[in-house]
Amino acid sequence: MIIVSDGIKRLIKALGENKVSTSDVERKLYSYDATPIPVKSEMPSAVVFPEGKEDVKRIVEICYEEGIPMFPRGAGSGLTGGAMPTDRGGVVISFERMNRFKVDRDNATAVVEPGVVTYDFQKYVEKLGLFYPPDPSSYKYSTIGGNVAENAGGPRCVKYGVTREYVLGITAVIKHGTVIRTGNPVIKDVAGYDITKFFVGSEGTLGLITEIIVRLIPKPRARRTLLALFDDLPTVGKVVTSLMTSGVFPSALEFMDKDAISVVREYKGIDLPDDVEALLLIEVDGNPPSVEEDVKVVGGILKDAGVSYRIAKDGKEEEELWLARKSLGPALAKIKSGKINEDIVVPRSCLSEAVPAFRSLSEKYGLPVVIFGHIGDGNLHVNIMYDKSSREEEERAEKAMEEVFDIAIGFGGSITGEHGVGLTKMAFLEKQLGKETVNIMREIKKVFDPLNLFNPGKVFS
């Protein structure tokens, strides 16, 4: 039974018992997220469920006075430990009850609370003829607040950009319960430093976001999907380069290597070939005439490269092809019980060399390595599979993971494209950015959070 501290008692008195839980069950449930590899976390002293910005302001005031660490949480779908409590005595702040939004159709903007589920918001605005493009794989349950904290991406971001391109401003509570507002519901705004962008991708380390102003764009009127099949990996890189310099801007360009194809075919029974090295899913969207013209251009590029392809004949076939890509996560469990899924990025011009380099780790470490991802922007998911019951295999997987980062950095890339640093990649951040840059980040955090109470122990130690 937890001994309730004076600080937790103050939170209960200020917010009410229905907004602060100290039950063993809820504390346990909110002590982990979707991170697939073992990382150390702590049971929070309480889970707090704010229902509005005044609740959040009061939470921060009390926690700052009492020295209580705060761990913000959306849907817990993160993969690098970003929502996991790491400091004994801290509280998890779950934003699931702050799920309201208001759309301004005339200005194509919306004000969104952090607990709004991405999919629910997208479907609502599409009924109005508008479009919110960011589509992380977890979009059916992840929240916009979590997407902002991680600067989430997804397949469509090759054309439309990641979450930060759609955040026009935020309201947040920082040190001592101070409320700050940044940006406005306008496209052009260069008044002062762009503090909005400090918060996008900050992984909850600067403060607690209570409102987000997002921009919307017109919904595309047509969409077509092509499936291209490759006999060798170097041709994949060349075709991607040709596509991205052709004047056609694919709305999605997804890669699956032969092992990814095999596991999805067996997992879902989807009609995919068993004798190719890789495939690309290529989607184009826009107005109907331009989409048909783009399909012809893409087909010509594939034909010139000697690549076989087919065009999905209808929406049902398109849905089946995308199901193959979206089923990869759960399908990988059929190979091994454990996986390390790294979302590295390399320049597109290096793909022909980088993909074989990642695949070579399979033979070196004697472990399956499955590669897929958003190849149009160089964002690959390198999955190292291992047996959870074997510590020796897990250690080999961890060494292979370190080489994945070294390869990405060696090509001038990044250790993360959309999952964030969180807990699992802290040791590698300085290797990519350098000591001085990381020190500047620490100093920026101190401005917003001098007591290090917002998501402590994340991004950098």
Tokens of 215: 């921009």
Answer whether 47's CB lies under 8 Å from 94's CB: yes
Mean pLDDT for 421-427 is 94
User: What are the structural domains, with CATH classification, of the chain?
Assistant: 6-94 (3.30.43.10), 101-218 (3.30.465.10), 222-327 (3.30.70.2190), 335-423 (3.30.70.2740)
pTM: 0.93
Parallel, antiparallel, or unpaired: how do β-strands 208-215 and 167-173 relate? antiparallel
Tokens of 364: 């070196």
356-405 tens-digit pLDDT: 899 999 999 999 999 999 999 999 999 999 999 999 999 999 999 999 99
- How high is the pLDDT of residue 320? 85
- How high is the pLDDT of residue 343? 94
Predicted confidence (pLDDT) at residue 272 exceeds the cutoff of 90: no
Mean pLDDT for 394-422 is 96
- How high is the pLDDT of residue 268? 76
Rounded Cα gap, residues 395 and 340, in angstroms: 11
**What's the pLDDT band for 190 if we cut at 50, 70, 90?**
very high
- How high is the pLDDT of residue 3? 64
- How high is the pLDDT of residue 193? 95
- How high is the pLDDT of residue 114? 98
- How high is the pLDDT of residue 2? 61
156-175 tens-digit pLDDT: 999 999 999 999 999 999 99
Percent of the chain with pLDDT over 90: 83
Tokens of 212: 């987000």
107-166 tens-digit pLDDT: 999 999 999 999 999 999 999 999 999 999 899 999 999 999 999 999 999 999 999 999
253-271 tens-digit pLDDT: 999 999 999 888 888 777 7
3-state SS string for the chain: CCCCCHHHHHHHHHHCHHHEECCHHHHHHCCCCCCCCCCCCCCCCEEECCCCHHHHHHHHHHHHHHCCCEEEECCCCCCCCCCCCCCCCCEEEECCCCCCEEEECCCCEEEECCCCEHHHHHHHHHHCCEECCCCCCCCCCCEHHHHHHHCCCCCCHHHHCCHHHHEEEEEEECHHHCEEEEECCCCCCCCCCCHHHHHCCCCCCCCEEEEEEEECEECCCEEEEEEEEECCHHHHHHHHHHHHCCCCCCCEEEEEEHHHHHHHHHHHCCCCCCCCCEEEEEEEEECHHHHHHHHHHHHHHHHHCCCEEEECCCHHHHHHHHHHHHCHHHHHHHCCCEEEEECCECCHHHHHHHHHHHHHHHHHHCCCEEEEEEHHHCEEEEEEEECCCCHHHHHHHHHHHHHHHHHHHHCCCECCCCCCCCCCCHHHHHHHHCHHHHHHHHHHHHHHCCCCCECCCCCCC
- Residue in this structure with the two tokens 């100290």, named with its chain if needed: 22
Rounded Cα gap, residues 47 and 222, in angstroms: 44
292-326 tens-digit pLDDT: 999 999 999 999 999 999 999 888 889 888 888 88
- How high is the pLDDT of residue 88? 79
* Mean pLDDT of the chain, nearest integer: 94
Mean pLDDT for 184-213 is 96
- How high is the pLDDT of residue 207? 98
- How high is the pLDDT of residue 136? 92
Rounded Cα gap, residues 59 and 377, in angstroms: 39
